[in-house]
Amino acid sequence: MTKLSVNINKIATLRNSRGGDTPNLVKFAKDVQQFGAQGITIHPRPDERHIRYQDAYDLKPIVYTEFNIEGNPIPKFVDMVLKIKPTQVTLVPDAIDAITSNAGWDTIKHKEFLTEIIKEFKQNNIRTSVFLNSDLKQVEGAKATGTDRIELYTEDFAHQYSLGNEEAIIPYTKCAELANSIGIGVNAGHDLSLDNIKFFKDNIPELLEVSIGHALICESLYLGIENVVNMYLHKLK
């Protein structure tokens, strides 16, 4: 079964909008794990617009599934990850002013940088994943960095699928097949939803984990968080 890691950035956004502690991020993380989620994902950014760096430390003791911290490996981020030692760190090349992640790494251009960062994390027993576009050359480049996994950036698939273009899955399938053949695990995330997750999962061989936040939280406004988590789990079997 593909694991579901729930990205809780949107819960932090809602909390921050009123300046208090409602909804409480730690309680929400506890609850979604009890509802069946197999991981918690956060993506702190330098401006702390949603997840604050302190949140990462507060979550560490209560995440008993898998703790995945995403972000651009600037020094502050690297220091935090090395102190917390989550299950997995996902490296994302997002610009400081980006509203959300909008591109994967150029693993060829940034090979030396990624190799150095990944080596340090792995020496501290932290599983590494690199955020990638569905490009075979970038998968090959990721292998050269020593990363454990890649996370396929699925925004284009989600958009094309919503227009009825099922062939949009093909580049992702090919990348997953290549990654599997060269010993890299495959994760995926961005704009995956209840509408497209089963089709995506059924066409991606050996899909280990999906990280879903925005769609899952929006769907939960109508259907309820416990119900939605279990709907995802059913589709990921």
pLDDT score at 211: 98
pLDDT score at 100: 58
Nearest to 2 by CA among 197, 177, 161, 153: 197
Give how many domains the chain has, as a whole number: 1
Contact indicator for 15, 221 with CB cutoff of 8 Å: no
pLDDT beyond 90 at 210: yes
d(CA 94, CA 124): 24
**What residue numbers bound the domain in which 42 lies?**
3-235
Q: What is the mean pLDDT of residues 148-171?
A: 98
Nearest to 228 by CA among 190, 199, 195: 195
Q: What is the largest CA-CA distance in the chain?
A: 48
Produce one character per residue of 175-197: b if its CB has 16 or more CB atoms within 10 Å, e if not: bbbbbeeeebbbbbbbbbbbebb
Is 43 among the catalytic positions? yes
User: Taking all residues of the chain, what is their mean pLDDT, rounded to a whole number?
Assistant: 96
Nearest to 4 by CA among 42, 43, 51, 36: 36
Q: Residue 207 in 3-state DSSP? A: strand
pLDDT beyond 70 at 102: no
- List the CATH number of the domain containing 200: 3.20.20.70
pLDDT beyond 80 at 122: yes
Q: What is the mean pLDDT of residues 110-125?
A: 97
Choosing from 66, 151, 190, 209, the catalytic residue is 190
pLDDT score at 61: 98
pLDDT score at 103: 81
Backbone angles phi, psi at 130, to 5 degrees: -120, 125
Residue 86 exposed, middle or buried by CB count within 10 Å (0-12, 13-18, 19+)? buried
Query: pLDDT tens-digit profile of 178-197?
Result: 999 999 999 999 999 999 99
Residue type for position 152: L
Band (pLDDT 50/70/90 cuts) for residue 228 is very high
Percent of the chain scoring above 90 in pLDDT: 94
d(CA 61, CA 58): 7
Is 190 among the catalytic positions? yes
Three state DSSP letters for 58-115: HHHHHCCCEEEEEECCCHHHHHHHHHHCCCEEEECCCCCCCCCCCCCCCCCCCHHHHH
Q: What is the mean pLDDT of residues 83-103?
A: 81
Percent of the chain scoring above 70 in pLDDT: 97
Choosing from 66, 70, 209, 219, the catalytic residue is 70
Locate tokens 């989550």: which residue? 86
Two structure tokens written together for 5: 């890691």
pLDDT score at 94: 81
Three state DSSP letters for 135-182: CHHHHHHHHHHCCCEEEEECHHHHHHHHCCCHHHHHHHHHHHHHHHHC
Query: pLDDT tens-digit profile of 71-85?
Result: 999 999 999 999 999
Choosing from 43, 50, 66, 209, the catalytic residue is 43
Is 50 among the catalytic positions? no
pLDDT score at 98: 55
Which strand (E) or helix (H) includes residue 197? Answer: helix 197-203
User: With a threshold of 0.75, does the pTM exceed it?
Assistant: yes
pLDDT score at 95: 66
Q: Please report how the helices 25-34 and 225-235 are oriented relative to each other, as an axis angle in degrees rounded to 10.
A: 50
